[in-house]
Structure 1
Amino acid sequence: MKDLQTVPLRPPEDVMRLSRMGAAFPTRLSFLPTLMRVLRDDNVQVQRPIWDMDAEGLGHAVYTLTMGGYQYALVAVTTSIRDEERSDRVIAEAWDAAFVLYDGIPDAAERARIVRDAPRQEAARFTERDLVLSRANKSIRVFTHVVNALRNTVEFDRQLLQSTGYLMRTTAVYGNGKFGIADRARIAMRPGLSGPFMAEMLTVWLIRGFTHDLVAHVGGRPLPRSMRRGIGVGNATGLGMAPFLVSHPHLLHAWHLARETALMRVRSIAELGDDRRLLMCALADKAASHLRQWNVADPIAQERIEKLRSEWQTLQAQVRAGALLEPYPIDRLIHQSRRMSLDFQEMLVSFAIEPFGDLVDDLVDRMATDVDAAIDLTMSVAELRAALARDWSWAVSLDFDMPDQSARFWYVSEDKLEPRLGDRRQQASGAFESPLDIARQIKALADDLKDARCSLAEFLRVCPEHRSAVRRVQTLIDAPYAEIRDNLIAETCRPIDMLRSKLAFFGATRFDPKSDLWTRITLAQGAPLFDELERADDMWCPVFEAS
């Protein structure tokens, strides 16, 4: 459909602030829900041709499927590790399970290679037939409880299962050439995997099904179907994910533009039919149930959740009182939400988009991009100054002589080659600092550009240190959602806001921050089981069923 500009897009200066990004929720355009619809539409059938496990669940298994005319296999390998080896940290060297998403169906020799090498993760090397590499640890408390309940035919601790939401949590899901696995170019044009992170999401969904099978094998009988639906895959995510949003500005723009365009379309609906109103009423109630089941240990995060619950009750009351009967009902709700918390505003966005797949699902085709912008040397210095004034006032106005504005620095650790965030007052950044100081780079460019009376080419010949900043300024002209509009080296920067934004696009739920630097989440909770892909449109705000 054509994008009718009845209602404008939300301005990027609001959308791309860390405080709002850190309140993001998944939508039906997120990658996991999108993948479920792809699998459903392609009538994908998951098979398990190999299950070579001992009584304690140690061994390997293979799951296979055909999607878009291509065959894929997940090889899962389980090993015995000591309790003290079980860690969410990237420095861990042993895991309960390791996984490879394989391009094709592995023969005996390839299976043997993967069974040998997958548990070693980065200590091993992989091939271009290996599309994704992952590892996971059991939630020992939950896994042991479920096994004992299955073996002894006793009641499950539903509160434990509900509050955790998974049997295993991944600590890494690697794609795109890591440790020798396939580059994205190998699958970028394939049906089903062409969208961003589709191979990784397929891996996570298959891992989730494997965890259900593993606990059933060790416990001697399967979990009830309704309980399996409510059990996803946990994930522990830290700083390694954050720089991606800075180093891929065009992708960041594409994701946000798709979501904001979806919101614009549904806000432009003048009148809702009866079926759509009934669906939205049901979704509002489901969201309330989801919020009641979401609790975290962090007191600040829990306070935000409790406030959101209260605000959501207000929305439910509005919906019951006939708010959806008003002209342009969704636009009215969005306008009214401005006096509420950012968490409520962003959950309302997700809620507003969810019932309108027929209006918005085509936007997922716009969320992948391979743009690699070059500097436009034909731009005049005056035009560059104008772009800085129009798009970058938030950065140009910062005073980097103030210690709090440059208190942090990003770098890559030598041991694990993973991003880290240092304190400039306690550590020497030196030549090891990563160039995530975008605001400071822009400020320096603006300062040096003030008195320039030459061509842009001449300016960059004399000041080549500004090439990266010039490229970013030019990028933002045509991609307004490409930049996080906050200072990423300020003392007040909370990287967890960046993590939540990206994880919401993945389809993550139950955000459980452990600090400003890392969080636990749940993926694929409420997703269809292998044999019920017809439920692909029933993932939003998953609720753990009591029976």
Structure 2
Amino acid sequence: MTTNAAIHSSLWGENSLPLRPASQVMKLERLGAYHQSRLSFMRTLVRRIFRERWKIEPSVFNLDDDGYGTVVYEVQAPHGLFSFVLFSDYLSPDERNDRVIATKWDLTMALVEGKVDQAYIEQLRENVPKQEAGRVDARVFVLSRANRSARNFDYVVNQLAAGEQPDVAKIVEVGYLYRTTAVYGSGKLGMADWEKVREKHKDFARPFAGEMFVCLMLRNFSLLQVEHIARHKKPDTFNPMKPEIKRYFGIGNSTGLGMAPYLVNHPLLINQWIEMRELALARVRALGSVNDQVRETISQLIDRSAQHTLETQTEDEWQTNNNKAVIEDMACLKSRIEGGFDSWNELVEYSEQHCSLQGQEMLVSCMLEIYPELVDELEDFHSAEEFLDLDPLMPAGQLRDIIEKRYDWALAIDFDAEGARETYWYRSEEKMEPRLGSVADIEGKKKQMALGVGYAVRKCYNQLIDYIAQNPDDTTARFMVSHPKLRGIVRRIQGMNRCVYGDIQANLLDREVLPMHLLRAKLAFFGVSKFDPRSRLWVRNTMFQGAPLLEEIGQSFNDDWFMPLAPKQ
């Protein structure tokens, strides 16, 4: 496999541009300003499915007139056969709950290796609808569930049954028929772990590829199901949905704090994701030619981004202000583009001087759209070996130097300031989700998660300085013998020293920390849009809106569903 170093050396010449520094990229507020891009996992998955012409067809279709029953899709990918098994059950309105602690859902589903027979389907039927309360075997590698949209599902069925199309204005408000409340993989509940999936199933050997595929299949089924129900409700007047309206439906998602610790606990993987995005940007800045056609294209993408943002519905004041800033930034950039520019460096530097972080990162996403020949190959390098190796023979003085150079951001934080260590993260046994607590809760603090990397580095550094003063020639091993509780943070410091990015440069223990930035960053890498925070701790969003339909596999594919806009009606 090609290494990062090989990718870099194949690109960088004498006059090349460096990557943006970690001190700029890894600030929490900038990570929280990321948007979807052509390197987002949904985009890369759809490209592969259409490029490789996967065959996805139902092998079992047992739905009654009301859309309840069992459906199995067989998925023939280049390297294997898989089954997507879905159970649709009646759910009374008073039982519908989007929280992770819910026990019943409208739909439950599983992605399974190989072909499934009736006996195995029954085995899944006994367990998949129970989700966390059930157990599956290692043939399953993704498990999920979803609930109908109270505002859209019945409305769309009734419109189609009456021979009418859904009002696009209503879809703008809620761009989905179902929303998923959890997508599980990586060995949970008896499923295949990531190592098995990565080694045995090449078609899903990229981070979150299986999870994204399940959401794509859910989106496909939601469109099929509303038409099925409407057709049986009024067969004489039923009219199918227009393809352009179908494409505008995505899948809803609710994401809470459960996603936030991932970015801290997988620093090598996050480094890889960010480095590929930054490398793509650097390639465009160094090698992307600018001519009249390119200027016209970037102008159109800027307009599209502004309109997409304008169509995003939210009642959250913070997000509303962010959206207003993006729209203003796009107008500012449009004016600058119309005035003429000769290089991407020129436009990027202009954005850094005149636009918000949200606008700056929207420009980055737009720039990547224009040059698939420079960007798309980097989608193959989103995986990482997640080993933080310990070097016990490293001189203690060298460990100190690494901290002073790489973690200067942590050393610059005043952890003794008021509120600097007021927050801690813990996992709620009752809610089955991470939560934020206050240090005033002494008992709760005993259950805290180790997410305060900056503070841990600061404590390690303080003790290391004292130790070196007494033992200047000792190794890291001897230092850890004296301070065994520091073994974990020393391993992280040494392991991350070989990365450009990976460590979020923020104090996650601060009273004013905004977890939404963490959620936004990870969701942007997934490729979601339409961020709608419901509090500072969880956010609704939309997945696969604008994506091509599965029935279009085999037709000419125009990979152009970045920042989708409402179709004309």
State TM-score, norm by structure 1. Answer: 0.96
The count of aligned residue pairs is 543
Quote the residue 1:104 is aligned against.
114
Please tell me whether residue 384 in structure 1 is matched to residue 399 in structure 2: yes
Alignment partners' CA distance in 2, 1:115 and 1:309? 48
> Post-superposition shift, 1:187?
1.9
CA distance in 2, matches of 1:100, 1:315: 45
Partner of 2:144: 134
Deviation at 1:546, TM superposition (A): 2.9
Q: Which residue among 61, 69, 81 is the counterpart of 2:71?
A: 61
C-alpha distance in structure 2 between counterparts of 1:155 and 1:124, whole Å: 39
The answer to whether the Cα contact below 8 Å between 1:527 and 1:536 also exists between their aligned partners in 2 is no
Q: What amino acid does structure 2 have at the position aligned with 1:3?
A: L
Q: Which residue of 2 aligns with 1:217?
A: 228
Paired position in structure 2 for 1:470: 490
What residue is the counterpart of 2:320 in the other structure?
302
The match for 1:334 is 348
Change (3 A) 1:23 1:270: closer
Equivalent of 1:174 in 184, 187, 193:
184
Among 204, 208, 211, the residue aligned to 1:193: 204
Deviates more, 1:248-257 or 1:382-391: 382-391
1:451 to 454, 457, 466: 466
* Identical counterparts, % of pairs: 35
Q: CA deviation at 1:89?
A: 1.1
Q: Tell me the equivalent position of 1:119.
A: 129
Q: Work out the CA distance in 2 between the residues paired with 1:222 and 1:49.
A: 22
Shift in Å at residue 270 of structure 1?
6.1
The aligned counterpart of 2:510 is: 490
Deviation digits for residues 84-129 of structure 1, max 9, x if unmatched?
Answer: 2212211111111111011112111111122232111010001111
Work out whether 1:4 is the aligned partner of 2:12: yes
Kept after mapping to 1: 8 A contact 2:255/2:539: yes
In structure 2, distance between residues paired with 1:20 and 1:538: 26
Secondary structure at the aligned position of 1:100 is classed as: strand
Counterpart secondary structure, 1:205? helix
Of 245, 254, 257, the match for 2:272: 254
Distance 1:297 1:200, change over 3 A: same
Which residue of 1 is the match for residue 60 of structure 2? 50
Give, in whole Å, the separation in 1 of the partners of 2:240 and 2:103.
Answer: 31
Per the alignment, in what secondary structure is the counterpart of residue 531 of structure 1?
A: helix
8 Å CA contact 1:40–1:536 kept in 2: the answer is no
Distance 1:50 1:293 in 2: 38
Distance 2:383 2:225 in 1: 34
Aligned-pair Cα RMSD in Å: 1.6
Instruction: State the one-letter code of the partner of 1:114.
Output: L
Residue matched to 1:34: 44
Off by >6 Å, runs of 4+ in structure 1: none
1:22 to 32, 39, 43: 32
Paired position in structure 2 for 1:345:
360
2:235: which partner in 1? none
Taking the aligned partners of 1:24 and 1:257, their CA distance within structure 2 comes to 14
Write the distance in 2 (CA, Å) between the matches of 1:316 and 1:98. Answer: 45
Q: Distance in 1 between matches of 2:54 and 2:492?
A: 41
1:474 and 1:71 mapped to 2: Cα distance? 42
Partner in structure 2 of residue 509 of structure 1: 529
- Secondary structure in 1 matching 2:525: helix
Aligned with residue 302 of structure 2, among 263, 274, 284: 284
Q: Does structure 1 residue 319 correspond to structure 2 residue 337? A: yes
Q: Deviations over 1:49-95 (max 9, x none)?
A: 22211121111111222112201121111111221221221111111
Q: Does 1:541 align with 2:559?
A: no
Q: Deviations over 1:321-362 (max 9, x none)?
A: 433xx1x2x211110011210100110110111111111211
Instruction: State which of 234, 237, 254 in structure 1 corresponds to 2:252.
Output: 234
Residue 536 of structure 1 and its aligned partner are, at CA, apart by: 5.4
Q: Which runs of 5+ in 2 are unaligned?
A: 1-6, 232-238
Alignment of 1:66-85 (within 5 A): 66-85=76-95
Shift of 1:427: 5.5
Q: Is contact 1:22-1:498 (8 Å) kept?
A: yes
1:256-280 Cα deviation digits (max 9, x unpaired): 0000000000011363245544433
Query: Structure 2-normalised TM-score?
Result: 0.92
**Are residues 155 and 199 of structure 1, via their aligned partners in 2, closer, same or farther at CA, if it must alter by over 3 Å?**
closer
Whether 1:267 and 2:285 are equivalent positions in the alignment is: yes
* 1:154 to 1:68, Cα distance in 2 relative to 1, 3 A: closer
Give the deviation of 1:406 after TM superposition. Answer: 1.1
Q: Tell me whether 18-27 or 149-158 shows the greater mean CA deviation.
A: 149-158
1:8-56 per-residue CA deviation (whole Å, 9 max, x = no partner) reads: 2111111111111111101111111001111122111221122211121
Query: Are 1:139 and 1:169, in contact at CA under 8 Å, matched by a contact in 2?
Result: yes
CA contact (8 A) 1:295 1:305 kept: no
The worse-fitting range, judged by mean Cα deviation, of 233-242 and 419-428 is: 419-428
Taking structure 1 as reference, are residues 542 and 50 closer, same or farther at Cα in structure 2, changes over 3 Å only?
same
The one of 526, 538, 548 equivalent to 1:518 is 538
Compared CA separation, residues 429 and 394, structure 1 to 2 (3 A): farther
Report if the CA contact (8 A) 2:109-2:144 is conserved: yes
1:504-527 Cα deviation digits (max 9, x unpaired): 000111111111110011111111
Q: CA contact under 8 A between 1:45 and 1:530: conserved in structure 2?
A: no
Instruction: Give the 3 Å change call, closer, same or farther, for CA 398–21 of structure 1 in structure 2.
Output: same
Offset, 1:156: 2.6
- 1:442 counterpart residue number: 457
Farther-moved stretch of structure 1 (168-177 vs 301-310): 301-310
Does the C-alpha gap of structure 1 residues 430 and 112 become closer, same or farther in structure 2, counting only changes over 3 Å? Answer: same
Q: Provide the secondary structure at the position in 1 that maps to 2:379.
A: helix
Displacement of 1:397 after TM fit? 2.8
